[in-house]
Structure 1
Amino acid sequence: MNQTQAETVTLVVRHQVRPSHVQLYEAWLRRIIATASQCPGHLGVDVVRSRQPCVAQFTSVLRFSSLQQLQSWIDSEQRHQLIAEVEPMLRTGDQLEIAQGKEFWFMPEATQTPPPRWKQACVTFLVILPLSVLVPLLWQPLFHRIPWLGGYVPSNVVITLSIVLLVVYLFMPMATRLFAAWLSPTVDEDRS
């Protein structure tokens, strides 16, 4: 087995669905996921949904054990029939992207609207406020034991670094998942 066949391969499928067809698309999506899961080498699928005023974006991330097995799925008659069935519901057709490796990071489409700034500010405030109170208290015992570390500049560097790392890597990802529905812009907000 060569290097290419030994690596996990990821297929990213992007579909822009007209709002009036979202329920039909969801039913179709369940069928194609079930069909793909029966293919040799299929390792799993994740679906990311996002809605815009005029279109719903679905990003499906499928993983296969090898490029050959992925290509077999792409070329399969079952997939071609299912894609032909869904094409009338799509605005831009079937968009495919293949990446090799165990992980695939992707950015949302550039057309996605970021959350309103005031909502971003609210979530950021809710994350940073408790940390700005608790983190200095947690460092105090160490600052008392090591006086030079408790000085104005070193203590502020340690506290600020702690808060930034906690916000970026731990609490902000959790907060954005928790408030995801609220952060999404609504049609009314887009018009204002």
Structure 2
Amino acid sequence: MEVLKLDGTAPQPVKIVLERRIKPGTHAAFEQWVQALIKTASGNPALQGSSVFKAGEGDYFILLRFESQGALDAWQALPAVVELLRAGDALATTLEPPAVRTGLETWFTVPGMSPRAVPPKWKMALVTWLALLPQALILGMLIPKTLPRLVAVSLSTALPVAALTWFIMPRLTGLLSRWLYAPAKR
């Protein structure tokens, strides 16, 4: 477990994205390898979540979220993990080097686009604010002032987070994808 940094802030959670393309004839073995990788990661108390996405016939995106960069580094250095990752190389090719993410990048993924592609942070912040502002205004008018403060604050934060995660951001990201992912002008 990591303690506060020197500046008094807590360590930030990180997500690692592993992209793999299955080699011909190894599908069943690769599936078993993915299960073993997730099981090994799940045994680490610093793991906060995992997801596996299949893209097409043989492309996989494996996302693992750890409580901090230090926890991820320690997990990756374990001999069992090193050996497991090496065994995976025999079953699949690596499409991109592992990417580590720390922010809202997972809200900004478009179906068919690699999770590695990430818009600039200022665009992510602007789109998130634009998606959150109307919700905050509407909920401010709808949530009764007579509710206990804890209940009111819980509703005014939980409802927008759920709406952003499952409804608003996937649609907004798709709608604004050309602008979000436009190449930077030099």
Normalised TM-score (structure 1): 0.50
Q: Report the counterpart of residue 179 of structure 1 in structure 2.
A: none
Compute the displacement of 1:30 (Å): 0.5
CA RMSD in angstroms comes to: 2.9
> What amino acid is aligned across from residue 38 of structure 1 in structure 2?
G
Decide whether the 8 Å contact of 2:11 with 2:67 is kept in 1. yes
1: CA distance, partners of 2:84 / 2:96: 11
Aligned mate of 1:31, from 16, 33, 36: 36
Distance verdict in 2 for CA 1:18–1:64, change over 3 Å:
same
Q: Is the 8 A contact 2:19 2:94 kept in 1?
A: no
Matched, 1:7 2:12: yes
- Is contact 1:8–1:102 with CA below 8 Å preserved after alignment? no
The CA distance in 2 between the partners of 1:92 and 1:13, in whole Å, is 8
Distance 1:80 1:5, change over 3 A: farther
Q: Name whichever structure is richer in helix by fraction.
A: 1
CA displacement 1:140-180 (0-9 Å, x = unmatched): xxxxxxxxxxxxxxxxxxxxxxxxxxxxx57x96xxxxxxx
CA distance in 2, matches of 1:4, 1:80: 30
Aligned residues: 112
Partners in 1 of 2:20 and 2:105 — Cα distance? 21
> Percent identity between the aligned chains?
21
Partner of 2:86: 84
**Aligned partner of 2:99: which letter?**
E
TM-score (norm 2): 0.52
On the 8 A contact 2:18/2:61 being kept in 1, the answer is yes
Name the amino acid aligned to 1:57: D
1:4 and 1:98 mapped to 2: Cα distance? Answer: 20
Task: Give the CA deviation at 1:102.
Answer: 5.8
Closer, same or farther: CA 102–9 of 1 in aligned 2, 3 Å? farther
Which 5+ residue runs of structure 2 have no aligned equivalent? 116-166, 172-186
Shift of 1:94: 7.2
1:28 counterpart SS class = helix
4+ residue runs over 4 A deviation: none
Name the structure 2 match of 1:71: 73
Q: Which residue is 2:144 aligned to?
A: none
Q: Deviations over 1:98-130 (max 9, x none)?
A: 0113653445349xxxxxxxxxxxxxxxxxxxx
The whole-number CA distance in structure 1 between the counterparts of 2:93 and 2:68 is: 30
Structure 1: 5+ residue runs without aligned partners? 111-168, 174-192
